[in-house]
Amino acid sequence: MGHLFAARAGLLLLASLPVAACRSEAAPDPEAVARYAERKAAEARATPDASAEPVRVRVTALDGVGIPDADDGPGETDAYLVIEHEGQRFETAVAPASDPAVWGDSVIFDARPGAGLMVTLMDEDTGIDERLGVMSEPMPRLGPGEKRELSLSFRGGEGGVVRLQLEGLPAP
């Protein structure tokens, strides 16, 4: 019991240290904190309906407007999307020098209503591609032939707005 108390006391002592005492800790990036909070809020909204049967949904990346210029120096943002749902992943083609960006690319997901549909807005670069924003929305319940359009605002619209069309498909 003494060991348990010592461990708890040690945790309390460590927990009470100021952040500045940790040499490797830098001040958190406000944008990273905002992205994390945005992602966690979207995950909380995206509670899958465990009783729902998977359905087939065609997701079409329509277009994006107001996408900021993420490239330093000459050049413009070459935007593409990464669309993910329940372990399934799809990347659109790159829309070069894109504002507005127009894709028109589609993917068919075996979808579970309520589970998260995550969309990442990317900028293709010669080195490492840059992530411009991430949004997550719950997959809506769509019957065959039913369509719904989603407008996703990245960073409150300052990071651009992307439109997707979702269409329910008949079971195979």
117, 86 Cβ separation under 8 angstroms:
no
Tell me the CA distances in angstroms from 155 to 16, 43, 54, 101, one per residue in order. Answer: 33, 16, 31, 17
Q: Which residues are 82's β-sheet partners?
A: 91, 120
Domain housing 64:
49-169
At residue 105, the pLDDT reads: 97
Could you tell me which of 106, 56, 58, 46 has the C-alpha nearest to residue 81?
Answer: 106
- Whether residue 100 lies inside any domain: the answer is yes
Query: Tens of pLDDT along 101-152?
Result: 999 999 999 999 999 999 999 999 888 999 999 999 999 999 999 999 999 9
- Whether residue 20 lies inside any domain: the answer is no
- Whether residue 44 lies inside any domain: the answer is no
Amino acid residing at 63: D
Higher pLDDT, 116 or 52: 116
Question: Number of folded domains in the chain?
Answer: 1
Q: What is the CATH number of the domain that holds 83?
A: 2.60.40.150
Phi/psi-derived region of residue 114, left when phi > 0, alpha when psi is between -120 and 50, beta in every other case: left
